[in-house]
Amino acid sequence: MVESVTDSNQHIDTRGWYLAARHVPSPYYDKRSDEEDISLLVVHNISLPPGQFGGPYIEQFFTGQLNPDEHPFFQVIHKMGVSAHCLIRRDGEVVQFVPFSARAWHAGASSFAGREKCNDYSIGIEMEGSDYVAYTQAQYEALATLTRVLQLRYQKITSGRVTGHQYIAPLRKTDPGLVFDWIKYRALINQ
């Protein structure tokens, strides 16, 4: 069930940490040029190794601790230096790596509504999943609750400013994939 949200201050502390999340700080972030400019929410997906769920690898990747010898794919990505603000696990657990007040390195070369460098003004949320496996109800509910909290705190994140990585980096990215149910997600936000 999506949590009722009326006051973002009950859910996000003054430093930008979501109180309902488990905090695993990443070194891969920097200062935003303007915290008042936060105006976009970008939904992604990730699974490590690709197509496999569970395990410690996503957290290791976002914190620079991924062992390249544990899987051939890790040899390609272990030095990438990327992060997201939050990860939503298959069971709905939220893990936060970067405070919302800081710039996470999740979007790469990107553009939304004609404005480039989405990392500067967006919040990135990773769903544990792939382009081809349906997301869980627990994930949708956790994402909807987090979205409502973020929309209360950062009022420039309107319903029209919630998007997928595939739409801000077309031809380069495909996540969260065609299996992501935008209709279900938006209905949960508006409950």
Rg of the Cα atoms in the chain: 15
Question: 59, 126, 128, 141: which is the annotated catalytic residue?
Answer: 126
CA angle 182, 39, 177 (to 5 degrees): 30
Cα four-point dihedral sign 88, 91, 92, 96: negative
Contacts of 165 (CB under 8 A, 6+ apart): 42, 43, 44, 45, 106, 107, 110, 173, 174, 175, 176
Task: State the number of CA atoms in the 13 A half-sphere of 35 facing the CB.
Answer: 10
Instruction: Indicate if 36 belongs to the active site.
Output: no
Q: Which residues are catalytic?
A: 126
